[in-house]
Amino acid sequence: MQNKILIIGFGNMGMAHLESFIKKKFIIDIVENKNIKKINDLKKSKFFHKNITIFSKIPKFQKYLLTISATQSRERFILIKEFLASNKTKYLLLEKFCFLKLNDFEEFNKNLKKKTKTFVNSWGYILAKKTGIKKLKKFNITCQIEEGSLLANITHIMHVFAYFNNKINIHKIYETKFKVIKSTRRKTYNEILGTIKIEDINKNTLTITTKKKIKDTMIFTIRQTLPRISYKFIIKKNHQVSYYKSNFKFLEIKFPFSKVTSQLFVKKCENKNFDYMPSFENDYKLSTSLLKKFKVKIP
């Protein structure tokens, strides 16, 4: 178990996670039975080596250091439940949105969470931490995002809010000029157009607004009321992130969005310092608040 990794699902996300471990001393098992082309491409690539084993079904009676669920959210709970019934893993990493149904969140939280330490692959906390802000008093956050991308990124956006409000519970969720449509990018899922406003019990707010055309991928603006101060970070389409304090740029970084949590896990295994890894416990509060409010299919 000491250095054994399992990746369930081998689409683009599964491949991104594999790249985090491929040059390290890990034994890697991959489960995939649909994306045969991706598997064949892997076998022909420079990444493939003797420490990688491919399964068409979830193996049984195995012990892993880390298991990554990189499947779609609608099938994730069933596969994780099947895996934990006959295997052990010290850590479990879930792609977001963790589960599609509220009941799945509740059952995992009540019965399955105790079997392992669970993280969520979200970059929200990590990007927020790089602002250097340790504590905010009364504040509001706005996020502008391109139409068609809100639900696919809402976990990350909510985690930015959770970092700044110190994981305080969500109190209210409002919507204005709001409508649910079928996603044009992700079949069988929905998308939201308009504005969502989220408020915690201290009346700090997060306002998310979709824009038809936006130069950058996402723009976060954080404003503290007293003393009055503003921060901003802009996620660009080339994966660059620029940070501003009162309109002065103080940091620009290249950020590995899709595989950031697995890269941090590698650092942990090497006994290096690493940023906060988002826990399932906090994501559970945020995600179930959304599912209770909106009847949508979140990718």
Q: What ranges do the domains of the chain cover?
A: 4-120, 124-255
The predicted structure's pLDDT at residue 28: 93
| Assigned architecture for domain 124-255 | 2-Layer Sandwich (3.30)
The predicted structure's pLDDT at residue 291: 82
Whole-number Å distance between alpha carbons of 111 and 152: 27
The predicted structure's pLDDT at residue 271: 61
Alpha helices in the chain (DSSP H): 12-21, 36-44, 73-86, 102-107, 124-129, 150-164, 260-269, 280-293
The predicted structure's pLDDT at residue 48: 79
What tens digit of pLDDT does each residue of 149-174 get?
888 888 899 889 988 988 776 777 77
Domain 4-120 sits in CATH at: 3.40.50.720
Q: Which segments in the chain show pLDDT lower than 50?
A: 274
Residue 222 to residues 137, 173, 202, Cα–Cα distance (Å): 11, 19, 16
Per this entry, what is the length of the chain?
A: 299
CB contact at 8 A, 82 and 91: no
The predicted structure's pLDDT at residue 298: 67
The CA-CA-CA angle for residues 125, 169, 66, to 5°, reads 45
Whole-number Å distance between alpha carbons of 63 and 61: 7
- The one-letter code for the residue type at 134 is K
Supply the pTM of this predicted model: 0.88
The CA-CA-CA angle for residues 84, 86, 92, to 5°, reads 30
CB contact at 8 A, 91 and 265: yes
